Amino acid sequence: MYNYPKTLEDLINSFSLLPGVGKKTAERYAFSVINNFREEEIEELISNLENLKNLHSCPSCGSLTDSDLCSVCSDDTRNHRLVMVVEDVKDLFAMEKLKDYNGIYHVLHGAISFSKGVSVDDLNIDSLMTKAANDQVDEVILATNATLEGETTARYLKELLNDYPNIKVSRIAYGLPVGSALVYADEMTLLKALEGRREYK
Amino acid sequence: MYNYPKTLEDLINSFSLLPGVGKKTAERYAFSVINNFREEEIEELISNLENLKNLHSCPSCGSLTDSDLCSVCSDDTRNHRLVMVVEDVKDLFAMEKLKDYNGIYHVLHGAISFSKGVSVDDLNIDSLMTKAANDQVDEVILATNATLEGETTARYLKELLNDYPNIKVSRIAYGLPVGSALVYADEMTLLKALEGRREYK
């Protein structure tokens, strides 16, 4: 029985580790690298992977950065007393794409989950509470996901922040996604949308 | 406006070069490497990419190999006088998965295509004709694709091989794919299936 040359087989196995990539797709990627990538493109991919070791958590907010502080925390034009708490770095990037938010972030790296065994000790909470204790925060926006885990985490943080009555704590709104039809919304969303109704002017 | 750290952006751009991978998927892959790959898995991916420079064409058949001859050409148990001509290395691997064919291969690295500007000079044909001239071949199976390009290429090779009347030249069969319904077959396939009918015993 014939096998791929080991070099090729190894690369296919590496690509198979990517999310949603099975054997067939991994083969396609490997052949594409062999046949279609220019030599310098392969070198670039290699050095880009090697450079990943320069990426680390921003000590202030927990976001990803390759310098001392992340580009949000090192930006003096932003309001550092307004802190949005998100579960994941990806949430931060999604929010930043809006180009609307001018505060800073705090990345928890997860949410409290009993089923996944994630407890508060696994989350990046300390540096947020330090900022709160040092009176560096006016408002905390809890922007964890609208899931059981996100809600539990938001609730837990709210309890902690109750110790600082000067800090306003808000939660992003639940409701119908823009562009969606009421008829397709699930019951929980409808309930929350009704609960969160506001005067229509 | 906030951007990804450059290290991350670069990796996303590299992944975007893979076939069928857009920005979103490339982001997903990059985050997966950062969050889910173990350190040694990243190192492996890097070294597997670096090892690609060891891959080269088998001087005998044109297949991919990381040693002198490919594993088919260096296999003495195979019939080296039976040569299957395929367009691409991937075709060879597809055929090998059958575990049924015991001859060797010849990889053209393409097919004659007027629209893509591929001429006979771009194809790996010489080493096949050398084998034919040196009386090293009993039969050539033309297994190029059932496309205009594949058919043109098969026709061209047949002309060249006419100089060697001792060599049997065959073409893989056209017809209905196994498991398919007649009603869904295109006209050309039906025509070819009719043309290629054989006595039913």
> What does the pLDDT look like over A114-165, one tens digit per residue?
999 999 999 999 999 999 999 999 999 999 888 889 889 999 999 999 999 9
- Residue A141 DSSP class: E
Nearest to A7 among B28, B51, B70 (CB): B51
Q: Which of B104, B150, B101, B92 is nearest to B123 (CA)?
A: B150
Mean pLDDT over residues A69-90, rounded? 92
pLDDT, tens digit (0-9, with 9 covering 90-100), for B28-54: 999 999 989 999 999 999 999 999 998
Cβ separation of B46 and A46 shorter than 8 Å? yes
Q: What is the spatial distance between Cα A60 and Cα A39, in angstroms, rounded to a whole number?
A: 39
| Cβ atoms of residues A144 and A129 within 8 Å | no
Cβ separation of A14 and B44 shorter than 8 Å? yes
Cβ separation of A52 and B7 shorter than 8 Å? yes
Nearest to A55 among B8, B14, B55 (CB): B8
When comparing pLDDT for B72 and A185, which is higher?
B72
Mean pLDDT over residues B96-122, rounded? 90
Q: What is the pLDDT of residue A1?
A: 46
Cβ separation of A19 and B32 shorter than 8 Å? yes
Task: Give the ipTM.
Answer: 0.75
Distance from B26 to chain A by nearest Cα, in Å?
10
Cβ separation of A19 and B34 shorter than 8 Å? no
- Closest chain A residue by Cα to residue B5: A65
pLDDT(B7) > 80: yes
pLDDT, tens digit (0-9, with 9 covering 90-100), for A22-73: 999 999 999 999 989 999 999 999 999 999 998 999 999 999 998 899 989 9
Name the least confident of A179-188, B73-82, B98-107: A179-188
Task: Round the average pLDDT of chain A to a whole number and report it.
Answer: 89
Helix or strand holding residue A201 (H, E): none
Band the pLDDT of B1: cuts 50, 70, 90. very low
Mean pLDDT over residues B152-179, rounded? 89
Distance from B196 to chain A by nearest Cα, in Å?
31
Q: What is the pLDDT of residue B186?
A: 81
Of chain B, the percentage scoring pLDDT greater than 70 comes to 98
